[in-house]
Every structure is written in C-alpha cells, then in structure tokens.
A and B are shown apart, each in its own frame.
Chain A
Amino acid sequence: MVGIVVISHSGKVAEGVKAMADQMADKSVRIIACGGIENGELGTDAIKIMEALIRADSGDGVVVLVDLGSAVLSTYTALELLDEKERRLIKIADAPLVEGAVCAAVQASAGFSVDEVAAAAESARSMLKL
C-alpha cells in the first residue's frame, strides 16, 4: 500500500493534517507527519524528511504532500540522500496540503499505485469550495 508523508514548516500543521487523513484512511495506510525543525521552530529539515520517507514506504512507494516553498527544496534534498532504488517510487504531489492529503489517503486505502494516489491528490487543486 502506498504511504503518505505530510510535510509542513509547522509540526502542529503536519500532525493536524495527518490526523484528518488518518480519519479517512484504512489503518493499513502509513501516514507520517513531518513538520518543524529542532526546538520546535518553524522550518523543514531534509534529514527528518528522509527518515519520514523511509518510514512511510512499505514497498509500494510514497506520495509526499508539502506546504510552502522551501518544503519542496528540503524534499528534493532528502530525495538526494536516498539511493536510486529507494527514491524510485516517491512522488511529490503538486497539491494543496489538507485536501491533497485527504484525497491521497482515500486513494491509497483503495490500493492504487503511487502515480494514481498522486493524481488523486492533485485533482484537489481545481476544487472550488463554494
């Protein structure tokens, strides 16, 4: 089953989004929250992200949801720290964090592939709320 990593500059945001996604997902989907840096300050940490990616992967790959700007850069750095085989099935979804995580969680629960789970997250981009 595809795993999900939720990356935010804030640990609280990452944990909160994980809680929402967990509520919608089957228990077998690994959803890992990864937010903040040391001392609880705001930021993203490539090493922490790398560890989260490894924990989330059960063999079927990982879809990554990110919040703002440098979260993407830190994720790229984390990917470079992994070997070719480990990062082959990791995909960053170009999607809003909360909606994307919820969509990915449901799609992953139904046993879809990394590409399909990422596509479900990205479908949330065009979703109007009103």
Chain B
Amino acid sequence: MIQENMVLTNELGLHARPASALTKIALKYKSNVTLQGNGKTVDAKSIIMVMTMGVKGGCPLVVIADGPDELECMAAIQDLVENKFYEE
C-alpha cells in the first residue's frame, strides 16, 4: 500500500471533468484507490463519490493505492494532478 499527499493546483478542484479524468485512470488499474479530502474518504473508482467529495482548487488530497499495480496507478494519478488535469 502506498500513500501520497497532493495538493490540487487547478482552479476548479475535483469538479465534473477533473473528477471523471481521475476516476477513469483509477478504473484502469487493478489496485484499490482511496481518496481523502474535505473530511471525506471515498473510493476513487466511483465518479459519483469523487464528485461528492467537493474538494476545491488549492486543497489537499490524499491518494492511497493498494494492489499489484499500485506504483503505476499512483504515478498516473500524480501526473494528472500535477498537470492540472490537462485542462488549464
């Protein structure tokens, strides 16, 4: 199991499109992926849960990946977050 503490540097945070981008990445991997932010803990593979977290831009997000491909999965999520979800 690995954990990374990130900060959302995009303006809008985990609103619809960024949330769907993150969930689509999580769905590609076998590992379980959990997100913690805004006082909530959710399954990253559920788009509805990720959107409901309401994590805003500039806020911290903890990502926990657990499974056979956790390293690759974490790297892909980190790339997405660091690049502002490729939206800005």
Residues of A within 8 A of B (CB): 20, 23-26, 99, 102-103, 105-107, 109-110, 112, 120, 123-124, 127, 129
A102 to chain B minimum Cβ distance, whole angstroms, is 6
A129–B16 CB distance below 8 A: no
Chain B residues within 8 Å of chain A by Cβ, number: 13
B27–A106 CB distance below 8 A: yes
B46–A103 CB distance below 8 A: yes
Query: Roughly how many angstroms separate A99 CA and B51 CA in the complex, as a whole number?
Result: 11
B47–A127 CB distance below 8 A: no
Please name the 9 residue pairs, one residue from A and one from B, whose CB atoms are nearest each other, closest first: A110-B27, A24-B20, A106-B47, A124-B48, A127-B48, A106-B20, A110-B24, A106-B23, A103-B48
A57 to chain B minimum Cβ distance, whole angstroms, is 22
A102–B48 CB distance below 8 A: yes
A99–B17 CB distance below 8 A: no
Chain A residues positioned under 8 Å from B48 (CB to CB):
99, 102-103, 123-124, 127
Chain B residues positioned under 8 Å from A106 (CB to CB):
20, 23-24, 27, 47
**Within 8 Å of chain A (Cβ to Cβ): is B52?**
yes
A29 to chain B minimum Cβ distance, whole angstroms, is 11
Query: Roughly how many angstroms separate A120 CA and B55 CA in the complex, as a whole number?
Result: 22
A117 to chain B minimum Cβ distance, whole angstroms, is 11
A24–B52 CB distance below 8 A: no
